[in-house]
Amino acid sequence: MKFKALIVKEIDGKFIREISTKSIDELPESDVLIKVKYSSLNYKDALSATGNKGVTRKYPHTPGIDAAGIVEKSSSNQFNEGDEVLVTGYDLGMNTSGGFAEFIRVPAEWIVKLPEGLSLKESMMLGTAGFTAGLSVYKLEKAGIDKSGEIIVTGATGGVGSLSVALLSKLGYKVIASTRKQDKEDYLKKLGAKLIIDSDELDDKSSKSILSRRWKGAVDTVGGNILSTVLKSLDNGYSVASCGNVLSPELNMTVYPFILRGVNLLGINSAETQMDLRRIIWQKLAGEWKLNELDEITTECTLEQLDEKIDLILDGKITGRILVNLETSFRY
Ligand SMILES: NC(=O)c1ccc[n+]([C@@H]2O[C@H](COP(=O)([O-])OP(=O)(O)OC[C@H]3O[C@@H](n4cnc5c(N)ncnc54)[C@H](OP(=O)(O)O)[C@@H]3O)[C@@H](O)[C@H]2O)c1
């Protein structure tokens, strides 16, 4: 059987994207064949789609670290034909053919049954970005954040950023959104941000090892000097969940914020999150954490329309989330 997929090919050192067909036999041998209904675009997908060998070693390749759909065939007794399921992370879309296609085939251990309270579409409006925002909030709450002060979210108009702003606001935290896009103030306020600041304000160029105490928690999606500025400005004992590096993977700073203020740097790795915790986060996102702003945050596109979005996300020009609807894609 043939199905449609976005395929990235390496030709003479250049990476070319095209929508083409693949056969089921080309998918890796594995437990569960899933008919993908929705996927979503994450920053990592754009890296895979443009030949980043740290993400994807071998081409031709189909990216897409997220997929939600219906089980078509299963050799695992955990899943039956017709089950609604979702997959985020693990190796999906990295070196395993990913969700930018009508079918994936993956190990049963990677699959989460769609939790009650979420549709397949909503699960991919969230996708890895929503799961990462959820994991960040979960870890921050475990480490101890409170509602007495300000929580900063960096890269706030991005996928993880938007969903972190919306989730923290829903839970009653006073969220300050840091963005380079000052024209997105209304968008961020609708998601619940109390104040929007220019990300330049978090780019401290002084030689100070520690700055005035301000934040009582943070979700950082950008890394680099913005992350170190946030760490230097955390109040005593508070934490930052570090999940991204769109600005830079470097972290040049002293240990003083850690040893003089007892602040914490919480590492977030959504792709490798253990299944028990994965299920807990998805249950929360489907229940007590369910967001009303998903339509506001999401732009839907077809597989064919994904190409231009890949370039835009690499430039940091996407606001919110891109949902990929495999059902409405052009038929061959
Ligand atoms: N650790 C994990 O498990 C995990 C999971 C998901 C994502 N991530 C990482 O988290 C980051 C965000 O992912 P995403 O999918 O949310 O991407 P995204 O939608 O592109 O969001 C990134 C946002 O960061 C800001 N930004 C982009 N380039 C920047 C730059 N050069 N300097 C400063 N800010 C910049 C922009 O927001 P503003 O214009 O509003 O500033 C942009 O919208 C990526 O590094 C991704 O790899 C990690």
| Mean pLDDT for the stretch of residues 58-77 | 98
- What tens digit of pLDDT does each residue of 252-267 get? 999 999 999 999 999 9
- Coil, helix or strand for 266? strand
- What tens digit of pLDDT does each residue of 159-180 get? 999 999 999 999 999 999 999 9
Count the residues in the chain: 332
pLDDT reported for residue 332: 43
Which residue in the block uniquely carries the two structure tokens 């070693």? 57
Burial class of residue 61 (count of CB atoms within 10 Å of its CB; 0-12, 13-18, 19+) = buried
Q: Tally DSSP H helices, then E strands, for the chain.
A: 9, 15
pLDDT reported for residue 329: 56
Nearest residue (by CA) to ligand 1, atom 22, is 158
- What tens digit of pLDDT does each residue of 108-162 get? 999 999 999 999 999 999 999 999 999 999 999 999 998 999 999 999 999 999 9
CA of 194 to the centre of ligand 1 (A): 21
The sheet with strand 195-198 has its strands ordered as 195-198, 174-179, 150-153, 215-220, 239-242, 264-267
Percent of the chain with pLDDT over 90: 97
pTM, two decimals, is: 0.97
Query: Residue 34 and residue 32: Cα distance in Å, rounded?
Result: 6
Nearest residue (by CA) to ligand 1, atom 31, is 247
Work out which ligand 1 atom sits closest to the CA atom of 181: 39
- Is 50 exceeded by the pLDDT of residue 222? yes
- Residue ranges around ligand 1 (CB below 6 Å): 42-44, 128-129, 132, 155-161, 179-181, 199, 221-222, 243-247, 268-271, 313, 316, 318
Nearest residue (by CA) to ligand 1, atom 8, is 244
pLDDT reported for residue 63: 98
For residues 111 and 75, the answer to whether their CB atoms sit within 8 Å is no
In the chain, the largest separation of any two C-alpha atoms, in whole Å, equals: 63
